[in-house]
Amino acid sequence: MPKQFFDLSYSILNINQMKYNFLGNTGLLVSELCFGTMTFGGKGYWENIGKIQQQGVNELMQVVIDSGINFIDTANIYSYGESETLLGQSIIDLGLNRNELVIATKVRGPMSDKPNDVGLSRYHIFNSVDDSLKRLQMDHVDILYVHGADLRTSVEETMRALNDIVITGKVRYIACCNWPAWMVMKAQGIAEKYGWNKFIGLQYFYSLSGRDIEREILPLAADQNLAVFPWSPLAGGFLSGKYSRDGDKAGARRDAFDFPPINKEKSYDIIDVITAVGEQHGVSAAQVALAWVRLQKDITSTIIGAKNVEQLKDNLQSTTIELSADELKKIDEVSALEKEYPQWMVERQGTGR
């Protein structure tokens, strides 16, 4: 049994090389890396991201568990339910203890061409959770994310439905993905007003090629004590080391699915820097990019994915990298956001206080 210890000064638990951070103010501990299952299945356009079937899923999941990761992320929309099905069966096949895992799924995306099989209405939320639990072969999920905004459903109705689904016991916590900051705060205010369950965390695109959440989302999270879970920390594979100005590597994910949108010229500059830093450490550019995200203030758990065991193990090694102040400065400078209004005015006016 590996030695375990609890350090109150940092509120972090260490087991081997994996660290565990508190999820907001819930008291729940999650691994600093979260395993994302978007590559499971391969139905429809999700085939462009990954099409791993049960045997491959089981192999990846065994490595995930052996590494100390206890946080697994899926979504109903990933391969239209296949990801959830494969994940649930893998937990059974490997004989994993469900109570030692934190399982998150999502609701929002269209699951069929039926008119009410999409969105954040009470109707769809309740139906979607029941369907997800059947596919996962579980009686509850630990975290349910709203997977995006539904501008045709009131925030109040959505928050009421989310509160009620928690009360049923089918969902332990609720969280948010891809909403604008004002909408998150509106939702938290409504929940506060009525004594409903609030969002406990935020899942947003965050990488060296996409630092946009530093403007509004990260300050919101810090102010409201919300956990932050970055998705696509390698910018859809662009920072994986497969891409350079000299030519793109064939067979990479972005060849068929060029998402999320990024400034590629700026990203090539970033790749030059993280490749050089990686060479100093004897590691890949991908590991440096993942380490940078992990080391940012207020990041709770970074979501990683993989198409094969080799790729997964490479990503896992990012937890062992410690970047020097000089290396962090170089990486920050090449990837920095341009200051927008009113950000620059707030900073200017705050200098005398």
Q: Which residue has the higher pLDDT, 252 or 188?
A: 188
Question: pLDDT digits over 160-192, tens only?
Answer: 999 999 999 999 999 999 999 999 999 999 999
The mean per-residue pLDDT over the stretch 28-53 comes to 96
Tell me the residue type at 35. Answer: F
Q: State the pTM of this model.
A: 0.94
The mean per-residue pLDDT over the stretch 39-61 comes to 96
Phi, psi at residue 200, to the nearest 5°? -110, -10
Q: What is the DSSP letter of 281?
A: H
Active site residue 194: no
Question: pLDDT digits over 214-244, tens only?
Answer: 999 999 999 999 999 999 999 999 999 889 8
Question: pLDDT digits over 69-82, tens only?
Answer: 999 999 999 999 99
Q: Residue 255's pLDDT is what?
A: 79
B/e letters for 100-112, b = 16+ CB within 10 Å, e = fewer, are: ebbbbbbbbbebe
Question: pLDDT digits over 328-338, tens only?
Answer: 999 999 999 99
Q: Residue 183's pLDDT is what?
A: 98
Q: How many other C-beta atoms lie within 10 A of the C-beta of residue 251?
A: 8
34 close to 75: Cβ distance less than 8 angstroms: no
Confidence at 283, pLDDT banded by 50, 70, 90? very high
Confidence at 247, pLDDT banded by 50, 70, 90? confident
The mean per-residue pLDDT over the stretch 24-50 comes to 96
- Out of 20, 78, 206, 243, the active site residue is 78
Of the candidates 65, 55, 152, 76, which has an alpha carbon nearest to the alpha carbon of residue 100? 65
The mean per-residue pLDDT over the stretch 97-109 comes to 98
Instruction: Give DSSP secondary structure letters for 22-69.
Output: E-TTS--EEESEEEE-TTBS--GGGGGT--B-HHHHHHHHHHHHHHT-
Confidence at 253, pLDDT banded by 50, 70, 90? confident
Q: What is the greatest pairwise CA distance in the chain?
A: 61
Give me the half-sphere count of Cα atoms (radius 13 Å) on the Cβ side of residue 89.
16
Confidence at 16, pLDDT banded by 50, 70, 90? low
The average confidence (pLDDT) of the chain is 94
Confidence at 5, pLDDT banded by 50, 70, 90? very low
Q: Which residue has the higher pLDDT, 145 or 2?
A: 145
pLDDT of 98 strictly over 70: yes
In a 3-state reduction of DSSP, which class is residue 9? Answer: coil
Q: Residue 17's pLDDT is what?
A: 79
Q: Report the alpha-carbon distance of residue 81 to residue 43 in Å, rounded.
A: 9
Q: Is 127 left (phi over 0), alpha (psi -120 to 50) or beta?
A: alpha
Confidence at 10, pLDDT banded by 50, 70, 90? very low
Q: Residue 8's pLDDT is what?
A: 35
